[in-house]
């Protein structure tokens, strides 16, 4: 049943030509019939009241009432007591609907898709509170386009937060607020291309293997080269041998293996960047969620002159917030800000102020503490479920974030397991999609548990446990 919004009336464009000999009522009836037949006015769409339409068109209310009555008698309109006049279900001239209904989305028993936080735990009440506070307290000037780098209030709050939580070296004047990681990396890569960079390295496995960011770099004219990752993180010697002038890394929780960049490699990486005049692009995507280890500070804090650090609210709040930030080194700050301004003149200011309000109030930190407990419990449920239903499978990458890597037996076919699990309504995802070669050996799965309940994790693993153990 459509919602009735008291006192609100829709607008309707129906031009009337007072210079034509045809009466205005006939023009109005004909215009409405054509709008309904052509599909411009859809079934159940609400029309303005007779008084409001008369005001919009500059005609008498009686003329509109007569027109509505005639079209109701012809079956084009319908009215109900206490409800607005609406378009009735009549034949139209729009393209007929297909004879077969589209297939309904497959309902999975459990979908271990990675990179998705718990969408059901989005702090709706806190978000609404922050929006109300923003609308109540924001000055009128905040409703203008403002600084394309982002709201000064958010940049100031972010600077304090990132210094405190991520040990970053942050100057609010060199923060650019963007629409999530995707825009942040695009802005950065475009500026690097303008600066003469032609080759950018990616962790392997990582963003360069499955399209996405690697494909974005190629479209910009960059050569994307893979660099191997092992238990200590990216191989810095191999990186230096590529001749790359920039590298995209996830040092705090490598995507997707989950390893942490070893301390000696952090220092070697900084030395490489300083010696080669290269740029490190750090994706600090989920470092807030840690469990079995002390927090690892952002790499940017060690070398703010050589690191572009990207952050986002997509994992801490929800992807729908579409808000991220770029911590720019001094040499790139102005160019990245210019690219942002040319791209869209700035991200939504009211949402920026809402996020700033959440952080300042302490509600953001409270939400993160609650989610750490939630994800820790789900991580435990995954470990327990595998120990019962697939004890031969080893897990790694569990120290932080909300995904893990399952190491299958060598005799197990990765793609065969994924396909067989799909037949049992369980979504599994192979590591091969993140490798530059798409190799399926060693066979591994990337298991996301952020958006799954503990019960769903147990049911999902129980359904595929025999598949994970191999033939």
pLDDT of residue 1: 39
Q: How far is 115 from 451, CA to CA, in rounded Å?
A: 9
Q: What is the mean pLDDT of residues 236-253?
A: 96
Are the C-beta atoms of residues 36 and 76 closer than 8 Å to each other? yes
pLDDT exceeds cutoff 90 at 134: yes
Comparing 65-74, 97-106, 346-355, 405-414, the range with the smallest average pLDDT is 97-106
| pLDDT tens per residue, range 200-213 | 999 999 987 666 78
Domain 24-87 class in CATH? mainly alpha
| pLDDT, the chain, mean | 91
DSSP letter for 160, please.
H
Q: What is the mean pLDDT of residues 48-71?
A: 89
Q: Two tokens at 454?
A: 């503990």
Domain 110-116+367-468 class in CATH? alpha beta
Are the C-beta atoms of residues 428 and 457 closer than 8 Å to each other? no
CB-based burial, 362-391: b 16+ in 10 Å, e otherwise: ebbeebeeebeebbbebbebbeebbeebbe
Cα 337 from chain centroid (whole Å):
21
DSSP letter for 434, please.
G
Q: How many CA atoms lie within 13 A of 212 on its CB side?
A: 16
pLDDT of residue 12: 78
Q: Where are the domains of the chain?
A: 24-87, 110-116+367-468, 123-365
Bridge partners, residue 324, by sequence: 178, 312
Please indicate whether the domains covering 24-87 and 123-365 agree at the CATH topology level. no
Q: Two tokens at 359?
A: 């952080």
Comparing 45-59, 234-248, 328-342, the range with the smallest average pLDDT is 45-59
Residue 281: its H or E element: strand 279-283
Number of H helices, E strands in the chain: 14, 15
pLDDT of residue 195: 96
Are the C-beta atoms of residues 177 and 150 closer than 8 Å to each other? yes
Q: What is the mean pLDDT of residues 118-133?
A: 98
pLDDT exceeds cutoff 80 at 251: yes
For a pLDDT cut of 90, what percent of the chain falls above it? 71
Q: Name the fold adopted by 123-365.
A: 3.40.640
CA-based nearest residue to 269, from 287, 284, 248, 254? 248
Quickly state the pLDDT bin for 140 (edges 50, 70, 90).
Answer: very high
Are the C-beta atoms of residues 261 and 269 closer than 8 Å to each other? yes
| pLDDT tens per residue, range 253-290 | 999 999 999 999 999 999 999 999 999 999 998 878 88
Q: Which residue has the tokens 């390295």?
A: 201
């Amino acid at each position: 049943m459509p919602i009735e919004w008291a006192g609100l009336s829709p607008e309707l464009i129906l031009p009337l030509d007072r210079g034509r000999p045809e009466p205005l009522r006939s023009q109005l009836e004909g215009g409405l019939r054509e709008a309904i037949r052509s599909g411009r006015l859809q079934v159940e769409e609400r029309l303005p009241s007779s008084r409001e339409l008369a005001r919009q068109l500059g005609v008498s209310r009686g003329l509109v009432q007569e027109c509505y009555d005639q079209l109701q008698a012809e079956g084009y309109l319908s009215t109900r007591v206490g409800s607005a006049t609406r378009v009735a279900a009549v034949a139209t001239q729009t393209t007929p609907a297909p004879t077969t209904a589209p297939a309904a989305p497959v309902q999975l028993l459990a979908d271990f898709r990675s990179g998705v936080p718990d969408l059901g735990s989005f702090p709706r009440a806190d978000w609404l509170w922050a929006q109300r506070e923003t609308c109540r307290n924001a000055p009128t000037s905040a409703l203008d386009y403002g600084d394309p780098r982002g709201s000064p209030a958010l940049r100031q709050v972010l600077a304090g937060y990132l210094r405190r939580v991520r040990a970053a070296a942050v100057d609010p004047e060199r923060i650019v607020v963007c629409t999530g990681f995707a825009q942040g990396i695009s802005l950065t890569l475009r500026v690097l291309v303008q600066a003469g960079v032609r080759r950018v390295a990616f962790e392997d496995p990582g963003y360069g293997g499955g399209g996405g960011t690697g494909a974005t770099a190629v479209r910009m004219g960059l050569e994307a080269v893979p660099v191997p990752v092992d238990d200590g993180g990216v191989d810095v010697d191999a990186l230096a041998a590529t001749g790359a002038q920039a590298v995209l890394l996830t040092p705090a929780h490598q995507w997707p293996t989950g390893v942490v960049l070893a301390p000696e490699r952090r220092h070697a990486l900084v030395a490489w960047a300083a010696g080669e005049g290269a740029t490190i692009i750090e994706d600090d995507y989920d470092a807030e969620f840690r469990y079995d280890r002390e927090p690892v500070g952002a790499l940017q804090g060690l070398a703010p002159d050589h690191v572009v650090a990207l952050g986002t609210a997509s994992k801490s709040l929800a992807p729908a917030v579409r808000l991220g930030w770029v911590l720019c080194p001094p040499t790139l700050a102005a160019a990245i800000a210019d690219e942002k301004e040319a791209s869209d003149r700035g991200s939504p200011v009211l949402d920026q102020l809402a996020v700033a309000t959440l952080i300042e109030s302490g509600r953001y930190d409270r939400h993160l503490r609650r989610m750490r407990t939630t994800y820790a419990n789900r991580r435990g449920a995954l470990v327990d479920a595998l120990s019962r239903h697939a004890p031969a499978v080893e897990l790694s990458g569990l120290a932080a974030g909300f995904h893990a890597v399952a190491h299958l037996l060598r005799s197990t076919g990765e793609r065969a397991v994924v396909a067989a699990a799909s037949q049992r309504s369980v979504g599994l995802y192979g590591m091969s999609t993140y490798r530059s070669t798409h190799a399926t050996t060693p066979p591994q799965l990337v298991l996301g548990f952020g958006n799954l309940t503990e019960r769903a994790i147990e049911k999902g693993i129980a359904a595929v446990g025999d598949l994970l153990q191999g033939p």
